[in-house]
Amino acid sequence: MSKTLFDKIWDTHVIAGQVGEPQLLYVDLHLIHEVTSPQPFDGLRSMHRRLRRPDLTFATMDHNVPTKDIFNVQDEMSRLQMETLERNCKEFDVPLASIGDDQQGIVHVVGPERGLTQPAKVIVCGDSHTATHGAFGTIAFGIGTSEVEHVMATQTIWQVKPKTMGIKITGKLPANTYAKDIIMGIIAQYGVSFGTGYAIEFYGEAVENLSMEARLTMCNMSIEAGSKTGMVRPDQTTFDYIKGREFAPKDFAAAQKYWESFYTDDESAFDENLTFDVSDLKPMITWGTNPGMAMAVNQLTPAVKDANDQAAYDYIGLHPGMKAEEIPLDYLFIGSCTNSRYEDLEIAAQMMKGKHLAPNITAWIVPGSRAIRNKAIKTGIAKIFEDAGCEWREPGCSACLAMNPDKIPAGMHAASTSNRNFIGRQGAGSRTHLASPAMVAAAGIAGHFVDITLLDTEEGESK
């Protein structure tokens, strides 16, 4: 019987149990951050347990980090969570990238960056965007707080095997469209819950041509389609990315040989199959309050279909029949585990080079890690942003969820490269419009969304 990439990795990790029932899986890597770890650590302490594999556990601080003045944590709850992580990591011997450290950053950015994320692993984290790591051909999913404690104590987790879904992505991406537009386009077409109960594998010509950064963006938003896991078959792009990184395998050739044995035998192995063609893909933006409420930049905001649409329009202050350029914008946020990697910043900077933000726009550029920040300073990208009038920040989750001082004020509209446009997500009353880094950067210059596929890149002017 043919098997999927997911099946093959799953099978190499099952310790106990039968398909259809909870099965005990071995966990290769447990990533933790300050928000979902305090209770599990308390649990270990109260049961007088040790953390079983501190060497397979990595911690970073991200959600609460103030990105303007990183050591000045004003909020009591934020400070408590961060100090608690610091103390717990010391007590349980877990390596921690603390605030200001060279390895610090958003958990889903630093895992790949350090070479911890590798093909054929099972990776978990108390965070729903753990799906991001699946870009390496790994089973990666978010877990709840009690599960975090279970993994800490045993390095294993009970899971019921999900069904598998293959999404074949065909065609050639048009200029100025990106992985963000692909995943937003898929969610706009199929909805925010079509992936529930499935592990998704993205494959096909268009996926093979994507960089690791782009694959990470796509897998990151699998959870916005309802799937806990999104993955891509590991290939040469994957191996080249890992090679030479801090935690890359010492015997790389042997590791690569092993990784190469993980792929989906044929399409019939999937429980469900979908296709998505990108040949005519347009840049996507959201108009509503979930990632499925999205439209192509050249479309009009849609008619009201149901009460949810009406509630979304009421909250966001738009109405049907509006052009993308008519959506008012006040802020722009380039950051988050979806789109804060070096390549994302480079693309955004290209849009802003030699230009200045429109007067109505406040812009926050928040690199996903200190390594990215340092690189961008070195290569001059940071300077492009600063010259354009953007605020160039320290690494963290920032305005993606506003668990820190980076909050979009009530009633204000933000063009954002993050993954969730839920009510209040970027601050109470904030209004979020998701898009790719290139779209968000171009909107900053124009003062409103523009169709960047119509831009003359030489001139930077609209045709």
Is 370 one of the binding residues for ligand SF4 (CB under 6 A)?
A: no
Is 147 one of the binding residues for ligand IPM (CB under 6 A)?
A: no
| Shortest Å distance, C-beta 254 to ligand SF4 | 33
For residues 106 to 135, the per-residue mask of contacts with ligand IPM, x marking binding by CB under 6 A and - elsewhere, is ---------------------xxx------
- List all residues 6 or more positions away from 313 whose beta carbon is below 8 Å from its beta carbon: 288, 301, 304, 319, 320
Q: Which amino acid is at 22?
A: P
Q: Which is nearer to ligand IPM, 133 or 168 (CB)?
A: 133
First vs last Cα of the chain: how many Å apart? 53
Size of the site for ligand SF4 (CB under 6 A): 13
Q: Which two tokens stand for residue 44?
A: 């270990």
Is 63 one of the binding residues for ligand SF4 (CB under 6 A)?
A: yes
Among ligand SF4, ligand IPM, none, partner that 35 touches (CB below 5 to 8 angstroms by kind): ligand IPM
Q: Is the dihedral of CA 222, 138, 126, 63 positive or negative?
A: negative
Query: How many other β-carbons are positioned within 10 Å of the β-carbon of residue 406?
Result: 25
Residue among 349, 361, 376, 401 that touches ligand SF4 (CB under 6 A): 401
Size of the site for ligand IPM (CB under 6 A): 8
Residue among 9, 35, 140, 384 that touches ligand IPM (CB under 6 A): 35
Is 187 one of the binding residues for ligand SF4 (CB under 6 A)?
A: no
User: Which residues are annotated binding-site positions?
Assistant: 337, 397, 400
Rounded CA-CA distance 108/210 in Å is 18
Is 133 one of the binding residues for ligand SF4 (CB under 6 A)?
A: no
Residue among 13, 63, 133, 407 that touches ligand IPM (CB under 6 A): 63
Interacting positions 367-426 with ligand IPM (CB under 6 A): 401
Please choose, from the candidates 365, 372, 339, the residue with its C-alpha nearest in 3D space to the C-alpha of residue 105: 372
Is 419 one of the binding residues for ligand SF4 (CB under 6 A)?
A: yes
Cα-based angle 212, 339, 295 (whole degrees, multiple of 5): 110
Tell me whether strands 284-286 and 294-296 are parallel, antiparallel or unpaired.
Answer: antiparallel
Rounded CA-CA distance 176/178 in Å is 7
User: Which residues are annotated binding-site positions for [4Fe-4S] cluster?
Assistant: 337, 397, 400
Is 224 one of the binding residues for ligand SF4 (CB under 6 A)?
A: no
Is 30 one of the binding residues for ligand IPM (CB under 6 A)?
A: no
Q: Which is nearer to ligand IPM, 108 or 448 (CB)?
A: 108
Q: In what order do the strands lie in the sheet with 156-160?
A: 14-16, 22-26, 156-160
Q: Is 411 exposed, middle or buried (0-12, 13-18, 19+ CB in 10 A)?
A: exposed
Residues interacting with ligand IPM, by CB under 6 A? 35-36, 63, 127-129, 142, 401
